[in-house]
Structures are given as structure tokens and as C-alpha cells.
Structure 1
Amino acid sequence: MKYKLPFVLLLMPFGAFATQHCPAIDNIKHNNGVYTATTAGVGEWVGAVQGEIPQDSAIKSFHEALLILNSDGGEDNIIDQGRFQKCTYNLQAEGKLMDMYFDNQTWRASISGKPHWRYQQTTFLEIYSCSGVAPELCEFEIMLPAAP
């Protein structure tokens, strides 16, 4: 039975994993507090400023990307896999942050083999964060459901 996982992986359709990364700052467009960025493949990044839109709402720098590990102890509780949450950017306006979501939702994702993610355990959550690098280096694999 030690060959069970590789055999299952062979049966998965191509494209079962889609590599994504946080959008580069230069690729993000904004208008009235709404931010968008396209991907090389299918999908779009969407974000919005919470609260009052600051006078200078241009993006200053990348803050972090966040993946929350599954903690229910179920079959999805695998190292380096969880729910990809968001990419966060610092705005020019002091203290203002903006979160971007891939296709405006969270995704089951894997960061296995991605070197820029750091594990952190908080009181309530186990997370991986990616910060201190260019947003394009915060890569993750979206785990698409298998085709029927």
C-alpha cells in the first residue's frame, strides 16, 4: 500500500494544481478604492480599501500573504496545505492596508516546496505567512477539485 498516493496522483487530471502568486504591485490597477489584477491564467485578484478611502490610495509596498492550516484534524490536515486567504499590501496613506483575494474567495492550497513561507502558531490558528520578499515570490498551488 505504500504506492497508493503516487498511483492516485497519476489518476488526477492535468491542471489539478494551478500555480499562482500574489500580484506584482505594477500589475495592480485601482479606482475609487477597488483594486484588481489579472493573472497569466484564468482568474482575477480583487481587493478593496476598508472604511474611508484615503487621499493617497496608491500601493506603497507588499505586506504579506497568508495561508491558514486546516486544524479540524480531518483528511485535509496535511503539512503545507490549508486555505489560502489573501495578499495584503501597504498603501501610501499611513497605516492603511488593502487585502486582495484570488477570484474574491479563499482556496484550498499547497505551499509545499515554496521557500518563502514561514510557519507561525498563534493561540487559535496555525498559519504560514510570506513577507519580506516581492509578492511574485509568494507562490502557492491552488488545489482544484478533480474533474468528475
Structure 2
Amino acid sequence: MKQWWRRWTYEVPLAISDALWEVLVVQLAALLDRLTVRKVIAFIPVVILVLAYYHRIPIPPELMLIGDFLAYIDIFSVLILLGVMGRVTTILFVVKQSAARIALLAGRVVAHAQRLDVRHRRQRGAPTRPRRKPDQPIDGRAYGGVWDQVRVA
């Protein structure tokens, strides 16, 4: 009974307190050491979104706009850090050139499709060779009537 009492009054609470110390003090201190201003700014919109979707707390639109503004600042800071802002003109030039090429290609395809004129084939005019009526036997030909009403049997 003494071992059981020692285990549940001494060893188990010490194990729980060691685990809490590890999580709440040691790992939290390591997280705070790795924390930067950029990470804090990136986390603010997440907090605002969580509060906005928690329907019991009304959030004014100004606070939502601040969260959007901070998110855009984060995006632009990443672009500046990557050095893309210096190459924006080059990227825009490539995009404009590719859009112009696609428009030119689409115009050529449409013009070629109109020259083919596959939809209105019979409206062009008379056929090049006259159509022949199939030969009918002499007994089946019309006799006297315009619309073949009277036939000789």
C-alpha cells in the first residue's frame, strides 16, 4: 500500500508537473526565441478571422480592413524581400507579349474558320453539276399530270 500511495502522491504529480514545465515553459521559450515581427504580422489576420467567424462577438468592419491591410503588407514585404519588385517591368512585358500573341493567334483562327464557311455550304449558289433525276421505268412515269397524280399501271 505504501508503494501505491508513494506512486500516486509523489511520482504521478511529479511526472505531470515535469510535462507541464516542458510544454508551458521550455517549448514556449523556444517558440518565443524563434518569433519574428513578420510572423506576428502574419498571425494577426488569422486571429481577426477567427474572431469574425465566432458569431457571438461582433467585429467592426474597420478591424477587418486592418487585418486585410496587414495581410497585404505581408505579401508586399515578401515580394520586396525576394527582389521581384525590380523585375516587375520585365514580368509585365512578358505577360503583355504573350497576351498579344494569343490575341493574334485567336484572330487568325477566326479568320481561317470564316474562310472555310462550313456552316452555310448550300447557300453559296447553284451546285456545279446539275442533279439528275433517277431513271424511272416507262410504266411508272407520270402521264399527263404535273404532280404525278395519274400513273399508268
TM-score bracket relative to the smaller structure: under 0.3
RCO greater where, 1 or 2, for CA within 8 Å and sep 6 or more? Answer: 1
TM-score by length of 2: 0.14
Find the structure with the greater CA-based Rg.
Answer: 2
* Larger strand proportion of the pair: 1
* Larger helix proportion of the pair: 2
